Amino acid sequence: MHPMTVDSHVHIWDIGGGKFHVEYDWLTDTSDVLYRTYTLNDLAPQLGEHRVGALVLVQASDSTAETRALLDAAARWPRPIAVVGWLPLHDPARAAFELERLRRPRLVGVRHLIHRDPDPEWLLRPQVSESLAMLAATGLSFDAVAETPELLAQVPWIAAEHPTLTVVLDHLGKPPIASGGWQPWADLLTAAAAAPNVVAKISGLATVSAPGFAAAHWQRYVDHALEVFGPDRLMVGGDWPFTLTAASYDEVWRTTLGTLSELDPADRVRILSTTAARVYRLPVPLPDGPSHDEGVNA
pLDDT tens track for 82-139: 999 999 999 999 999 999 999 889 999 999 999 999 999 999 999 999 999 999 999 9
Give residue 221's identity as a one-letter amino acid code: Y
When pLDDT is cut at 50, 70 and 90, the band that residue 76 belongs to is very high
CA angle 45, 46, 49 (to 5 degrees): 115
Q: pLDDT of 157-205, one tens digit each?
A: 999 999 999 999 999 999 999 999 999 999 999 999 999 999 999 999 9
264 burial (CB, 10 Å; 0-12 / 13-18 / 19+) is: exposed
Least confident of 4-8, 30-34, 81-85, 220-224: 30-34
Q: Where are the alpha helices (DSSP H) in 82-180?
A: 92-102, 126-138, 149-152, 155-161
pLDDT reported for residue 243:
95
Which of the four pLDDT bands, split at 50, 70 and 90, describes residue 269?
Answer: very high
The whole-number average pLDDT for the span 138-144 is 97
Nearest to 23 by CA among 69, 73, 81, 57: 69
Query: What pLDDT was estimated at residue 285?
Result: 58
Average of per-residue pLDDT across 247-253: 96
> In this structure, are residues 66 and 19 in contact, taking their beta carbons and an 8 Å threshold?
no
Across the chain, mean pLDDT equals: 92
Question: Does the pLDDT at position 48 exceed 50?
Answer: yes
Contacts of 283 (CB under 8 A, 6+ apart): 80, 277, 291, 292, 293
Query: Does residue 176 have a cis bond before it (omega within 30 degrees)?
Result: no
Query: pTM to 2 decimals?
Result: 0.93
Predicted pLDDT at 3: 64
**Which of left, alpha, beta for 168 (phi over 0: left; psi -120 to 50: alpha)?**
beta
Look up the CATH number of domain 5-280: 3.20.20.140
pLDDT at 31: 73
